[in-house]
Structure 1
Amino acid sequence: MKKYVTAFFALVISSCSNGQTTIAENGIETSNNTINKEQSELLFDNTKSFPNNTQLSIALIKNGEIDFIGIERTNDTIKLIENYKHTFEIGSITKVFTATLLSNFVNNQELKLDDPIQDYLDFKINTENVITFKELANHTSGLPRLPSNLNLLLVDQDNPYKDYDKEKLINYLTTEVTLNQEPGIAYEYSNLGAGILGFELATISKSSFESLLQENIFTKYQMVNSTSTKAHIKTTLVKGLKPNGITTSNWDFDVLAGGGAIFSTVEDLSKFALAQFDDTNNELALTQKPTFKINDQMSIGLGWHILKRKNGGEVIWHNGGTGGYTSSMALDLENKNGIIILSNVSAFNEKMGNIDQLCFGLIKTLDKK
């Protein structure tokens, strides 16, 4: 039986003059699973350069059991806090959920992965190339990263997607669309492609992206504090930070919501992660199957990137970044291990790569018996 094992600490992690990490313990309430010295050093080393008020909310999943760890940087000290129910932007991890919606449509026989997306639209895409649903979900559609009529130099830099609506997307697809290569032959990461996928699934269902998420994923996996609409957030929203530590605005998505609109908690994402370990779940299993080989170390399923590890195993992985947040999620399906990190580290912070580095470092520690 799967269960949640939570561990909350009143700890202070600091750096000694000799460069060693020390942990000052004060009123610890723990389960049998707590962070060890190696994990605490990974936390310190990968977060010490972030600005004050930086928060990380972390789930360590070991053989299907979960420890929640929260940390906050205050006055050059990193302390552990309870924030597993706090809400963050998850950025492009949203794409995994958009691809999961696609899998739901396929399992319900509403469409096929290799169906042309043109067949389900009431306007003509201005290209002779056939783009399939699978190619939108695995970034082989040939579409660029962003549409040409979304000029990031002319939009609100703190909220770049908010005014890009259905009318602008349709205008792009009917008049401006240009593919960088033929569909199906090369991997090129595309926020646009994922946005189109979310838009088209909502169009087919005569619904909204938010409604599809709530009805087909969030309710199913009891993700009660997840939404793609800021107004629907129920728990404490951790404020996003610019690279200099100043608070920044949240990003609002319109028609491109499928590319990055979701707000969630590490608790909710843990429920979604546990469901990934159930190989009888056809909807999720389909998203995990390789659909395109990117290189010798990485393939892609539907949304999920599939990474080969040095120990011979694999993880499915995705990360995300917005103006005020960075996230990373890696799952070892074979051993039912995983790491989920949500943070208010800006994607524009020069050290934002530390979040992925921490994610992969932590999952490596879970390999040890």
Structure 2
Amino acid sequence: MKSYLTALIGLVLSSCSNGQSTIAKNGMEMSTDEITKEQSELIYKNTKSFPKNTQLSIALIKNGKIDFIGVENRNDTIQLIENYKDVFEIGSITKVFTATLLSNFVTDQKLKLEDNIQDYLDFKINTDKTITFKALANHTSGLPRLPSNLHLLLVDQDNPYKDYDKEKLTDYLTSKIKLNQDPGIKYEYSNLGAGILGFELAIISNTSYENLLQEKLFEKYKMTNSTSKKENITSNLVKGLKPNGKTTANWDFDALAGGGAIFSTVEDLSKFALAQFNDNNNELTLTQKPTFKVNKNMSIGLGWHILKRKNGRELIWHNGGTGGYSSSMALDIENRNGIIILSNVSAYNKEMGNIDQLCFGLIKTLDDK
């Protein structure tokens, strides 16, 4: 680790006497490999333009071993901090967990991917088209990105999903639903579809989306600092930032929680990532299998996007963005490599694409040369 600190300090830090390494001995198998100059340069290049108080919490997973790296922009200086246990909104990476809940239901034989979602509801969806659970999870449902009765110009811009409750979603499904195309024929990313999936799985189980996450996933994978409810957070919550660097409110979700409600830490997501490498875990391997080909370079499983790389390898990937946070998570299952980045960079920041660029740049550095 010493050469990493030397490289990072020499390249990107102008005053980091208080900077700390964030390698953690937390009972997980830790890497002894040193962070490279190339990796430190990538972190600096993709972080320097963000406003002060911006934080990135990063996990580098090499052959199943983990290094945690934390950085913060303090007074135009990029400093090392320890934030692998700190909580961020993960945005649409939530959809991977919602799809994993679906996979859990399938492996437990509670439903089938091709089942019509109408068959599990006590109200009639106002369409004669069959929308399957699989179509909700792989964005081929034909549903729009958002429901027509969620008026983004009329809601609280700092907390847009807070008041979209069961009554509004039910009203949409029973009277206002309009599909952009027939289900199953075209990929069209839909926050609404993922929200409906989480909503319906909770109905089927006669419980809440939060309880499903805790009982089926977070407890199983020992994700002790993860939740979909802000009031349940017990670890330090990093404040989200607007593009101008001012703090912003956290997003609260109701009926559409399955699309983006989860708070988590890079430590917890690393545990989930390591579990993805175990092909004996049926609920996870099912989510990784292609269910629809989007184009020659991308397919989609359940939640996960499956990307074909120039070197012939594949990544499963998802990112996320909310008013105060951006995230990206990419895993190379075959080689047990991965990058996870949580940040308080707003999805509305014009440079937010740097988070994905950094994720893909860093995972390339993990490839065996």
TM-score bucket of the superposed structures, by smaller chain: over 0.9
Contact 1:117 1:132 in 2 (8 A): yes
Output the CA distance in 1 between the equivalents of 2:16 and 2:52: 21
Residue in structure 1 matched with residue 182 of structure 2 by the alignment: 182
Q: TM-score normalised to the size of structure 2?
A: 0.94
Output the CA distance in 2 between the equivalents of 1:39 and 1:177: 47
Matched residue SS, 1:274: helix
Matches within 5 A, 1:232-311: 232-311=232-311
Measured after TM superposition, the shift of residue 121 of structure 1 is 0.3
Measured after TM superposition, the shift of residue 34 of structure 1 is 2.8
What does the per-residue CA deviation read over 1:29-64, in whole Å, with 9 as the maximum and x for residues that have no partner?
A: 666223211001000100110000000000000000
In angstroms, what is the RMSD of aligned CA positions? 1.9
Output the CA distance in 2 between the equivalents of 1:244 and 1:172: 35
Output the CA distance in 1 between the equivalents of 2:139 and 2:314: 20
Residue in structure 1 matched with residue 72 of structure 2 by the alignment: 72
Contact 1:138 1:301 in 2 (8 A): yes
Contact 2:13 2:79 in 1 (8 A): no
Output the CA distance in 2 between the equivalents of 1:338 and 1:165: 36
Residue in structure 1 matched with residue 336 of structure 2 by the alignment: 336
Matched residue SS, 1:136: helix
Measured after TM superposition, the shift of residue 365 of structure 1 is 0.1
- Where in structure 2 are there 5+ consecutive unaligned residues? 24-30
Contact 1:138 1:302 in 2 (8 A): yes
Output the CA distance in 1 between the equivalents of 2:290 and 2:2: 35
Matched residue SS, 1:80: strand
Residue in structure 2 matched with residue 53 of structure 1 by the alignment: 53
Measured after TM superposition, the shift of residue 11 of structure 1 is 7.4
Residue in structure 2 matched with residue 155 of structure 1 by the alignment: 155
Relative to structure 1, the CA distance from residue 323 to residue 22 in structure 2 (aligned partners, 3 Å threshold; closer, same or farther) is: closer
Matched residue SS, 2:318: strand
Measured after TM superposition, the shift of residue 355 of structure 1 is 0.1
Matched residue SS, 2:211: helix
Contact 1:7 1:67 in 2 (8 A): no
What does the per-residue CA deviation read over 1:56-114, in whole Å, with 9 as the maximum and x for residues that have no partner?
A: 00000000000000000011110111000000000000000000000000001000000
What does the per-residue CA deviation read over 1:265-285, in whole Å, with 9 as the maximum and x for residues that have no partner?
A: 000000000000001110100
Output the CA distance in 1 between the equivalents of 2:334 and 2:128: 42
Relative to structure 1, the CA distance from residue 9 to residue 238 in structure 2 (aligned partners, 3 Å threshold; closer, same or farther) is: farther
Pair 1:99 & 2:99 matched: yes
What does the per-residue CA deviation read over 1:141-166, in whole Å, with 9 as the maximum and x for residues that have no partner?
A: 00000000000000000000000000
The one-letter code of the counterpart of 2:83 is: N
What does the per-residue CA deviation read over 1:274-332, in whole Å, with 9 as the maximum and x for residues that have no partner?
A: 00000111010000000000000000000000000010000000000000000000000
Q: TM-score normalised to the size of structure 1?
A: 0.94
Output the CA distance in 2 between the equivalents of 1:7 and 1:68: 14
Output the CA distance in 2 between the equivalents of 1:178 and 1:162: 23
- Where in structure 1 are there 5+ consecutive unaligned residues? 1-5
Residue in structure 2 matched with residue 35 of structure 1 by the alignment: 35
Output the CA distance in 2 between the equivalents of 1:84 and 1:351: 23
Contact 1:10 1:81 in 2 (8 A): no
